[in-house]
Amino acid sequence: MQNKGIWISLGVLLAIILAGFFLLRKPANQTSQKEVAPTPELTVTETAPPGSATPAREIIVTGSEYSYTPKNIQVEKGERIKLTFKNIGAIAHNLAITDLGISTKTIAKGDEDSIEFTASEAGTFTFFCSIAGHKALGMEGEIEVK
C-alpha cells in the first residue's frame, strides 16, 4: 500500500513539473510581445514595398543562449534596413528594439524572422530578447544610427 501512495505522489509531482514547463515555454508573442509605440523623439517608418527604387540593406543577426552576433550594429540615419534574426539556439528567442518600436516574432531553433525599418533619428539603441530573463542573462546588443 505504501508503494501505491509513493507512485501517486510521484505522478502528481511530475504533472506539476510538466505543467510549469509548458507554461514557461508559452510563446512570448502571447505573453511578452507587445506593440510598442515609437518614442516621441524618434520616428520609424515602414520601408517601401517590394520593387521600390531603394532596396533595404540586410543585416543578419544570429542569437543563441544568451547572446547575439554581431553584438553591435551601425547604420546611417535614413538608411533602409532589413534586419533578419536567425535563432541558432536551442530555445525560443526574439529580437526587440523597444526605442524604435519594432520586434521580430519569437522564433524556435533554426527559424528566422525579418523586420524592415528606417530610423529617422541618430542615436544608440539597445536590442534584446524580450523573453523573461534573457536580457538579464546577457542577450542584448546595440544599434547605432549615425
Amino acid at the residue 13: L
Question: Cα separation of 24 and 20, whole Å?
Answer: 6
Same-domain status, 66 and 2? no
- 21 pLDDT above the threshold of 80: no
Same-domain status, 39 and 27? no
H/E element, 21? helix 2-24
Same-domain status, 57 and 5? no
Same-domain status, 9 and 56? no
Instruction: Give the structural domain span for 93.
Output: 35-145
Same-domain status, 25 and 48? no
Same-domain status, 76 and 117? yes
Flag whether the pTM goes above 0.75.
no
Overall domain count for the chain: 2
Q: Note whether 103 and 36 are within 8 A (CB).
A: yes
User: What is the mean predicted confidence (pLDDT) over 92-101?
Assistant: 94
